[in-house]
Amino acid sequence: MPPSASSTPDDRPAASDAPSDDEGEGQPDGPPTTPSTRSVRLALRIFGRVAVGLLSALATFYGACGLALLTYTVAFPWTTGVQIQHGLEGRIPHEKQYHPRPLAEIDDALPLAVVAAEDTRFFQHAGVDWTAIGEALEENRDGDAERRGGSSISQQLVKNLFLTTHSTYLRKALELPLTYMAEAILSKERILELYVNVIEWGPGVYGAEAAVRYHYDRSAAHLTRSQAAALAACIPNPRVRRPHRMTRYTRILLQRMDQLQSLELLKQREEW
């Protein structure tokens, strides 16, 4: 029987045209990887690892600072970040003078003078005085030789405890969360107590007791109102300013102290 037209040899699929079970094996899915694509993937992997490392470092840093602040609710620091910085830079000429004292052993005039000089709204804000920062930015636009700072006492405290005096955007960024952390852990009175005990008041001189001994050769418990105001006037630039030279600013601070009246009244106003 002759073959039908539908099964002629010419109509049969050639062996080379038949689908193979191995067809497609070993071929990559999607477009081939180019050198530029591999470079992008490598860069993304490196970026991811760096980001994870930075986040881990920040978490460790803030965790350690939080534990330190918890300790500082009942104890004074044996040293601070700024003191370590000054030591490494050779800015402590001789032996460091640092003798922390509770506020009960410091004349009331000194913490009041410090509030009058550095942060008159200390008992009203939650750590950062945004009004003072705005005022400082406005005044500094005039380009005066001596720039005004807007940092609160709480901000200055965490800077002294954990950071350095170097004015950088990184320090400011690290400082902000630390400030709110300090306000959450420490009372206002404790923040002020730590502040007057750790800030610099002369070359290698840190804290109220060491400052009063250095400048007046007496104890911080026996300080006059004028001496307290003169010491507070030196805080912005303690390595250059000296209490006996700050006559005009001392008078201004004495007037502010009269307006503030006392720390007890300031704390009462906060509670109201």
The pLDDT tens digits of the residues spanning 6-17 come to 444 455 544 445
In the beta sheet, which residues pair with residue 200? 206
Query: In the prediction, which pLDDT does 134 show?
Result: 84
Name the pLDDT band for 179 (thresholds 50, 70, 90): very high
pLDDT digits (tens, 9 = 90+) for 21-77: 444 455 555 566 787 888 888 888 898 998 999 999 999 999 999 999 999 999 999
Q: What angle do CA 170, 173, 174 make, to 5 degrees?
A: 90
pLDDT at residue number 99 = 96
The one-letter code for the residue type at 192 is L
pLDDT (average), residues 83-90: 93
> How many CB atoms are located within 10 Å of the residue 169 CB?
7
DSSP 147: P
**For 11-25, 103-117, 176-190, which range has the lowest pLDDT when averaged over its residues?**
11-25
Is residue 230 exposed (0-12), middle (13-18) or buried (19+ Cβ within 10 Å)?
Answer: buried
The pLDDT, as a whole number, for residue 255 is 96
Residue 36: burial class (beta carbons within 10 Å; 0-12, 13-18, 19+):
exposed
Distance between CA atoms of 126 and 122, rounded to whole angstroms?
8
Can you tell me whether residue 15 is helix, strand or coil?
Answer: helix
pTM: 0.81
Tokens (6 digits) for 215: 């400048």
Confidence at residue 43, expressed as pLDDT on a 0 to 100 scale = 85
Q: Are 203 and 239 in contact (CB under 8 A)?
A: yes
Mean of the per-residue pLDDT values of the chain? 86
pLDDT of residue 23: 47
Confidence check: pLDDT of 181 > 70: yes
Query: What per-residue confidence (pLDDT) applies to 111?
Result: 96
Lowest mean pLDDT among 24-33, 94-103, 134-143, 202-211: 24-33
Beta bridge partners of 97: 205
User: Based on the number of CB atoms within 10 Å of its own CB, is 227 exposed (0-12), middle (13-18) or buried (19 or more)?
Assistant: buried
Angstrom distances, CA of residue 267 to CA of 67, 123, 126, 272: 27, 6, 14, 9
- Residue 142 is predicted with a pLDDT of 65
Q: In angstroms, rounded to a whole number, what is the distance separating the alpha carbons of residues 245 and 234?
A: 9
